[in-house]
Structure 1
């Protein structure tokens, strides 16, 4: 593989990582900490406040989903550039 194609592969890989980390940071820090007081006026099915739930559970679930998104997107990127297993 030539250097230009390898550089493009890594550029796309790093862009994917950056975008997924931004999503996680917005959910964990933005919704879970900064906006939690505002979200606490909303209750989930009569149970815990939404801000509390996002801080305790939601950010973890988003992180798990992002792991699967990363794996799927990297498989496609690996196939595109000929790095499949």
Structure 2
């Protein structure tokens, strides 16, 4: 594998790890670890901790998919792998 391809995959793995870390923090942290602090806030009659555990993690995951697509498009252009 040439140096350009290695740099591409290194950046790709870096993005994946960052985005998965964000998802973990939101799903596990906000839904479980910080539940008590978040339950002090209510949205639409539901406690915010419940909302994050049930809905928030899914919304964040979908947003992270779009962020990943955007990052990868930029990365493809940077390393010359775009179409």
Give the TM interval when normalised to the shorter protein: over 0.9
- Cα distance between partner residues in 2 of 1:4 and 1:84: 17
In 1, Cα distance between equivalents of 2:41 and 2:80? 48
State the partner residue of 1:17: 16
Give every structure 1 segment of 4 or more consecutive aligned residues whose post-TM-superposition deviation is greater than 6 Å: none
After TM superposition, the score normalised by the length of structure 1 is 0.92
Structure 2's unaligned 5+ residue stretches are none
Q: What's the RMSD between the two structures over aligned residues?
A: 1.1
Give the aligned length. Answer: 83
Q: Measure how far apart 1:83 and its partner are.
A: 1.0
Matches within 5 A, 1:30-69: 30-45=29-44, 47-69=45-67
Higher strand share: 2
TM-score, structure 2 normalization: 0.94
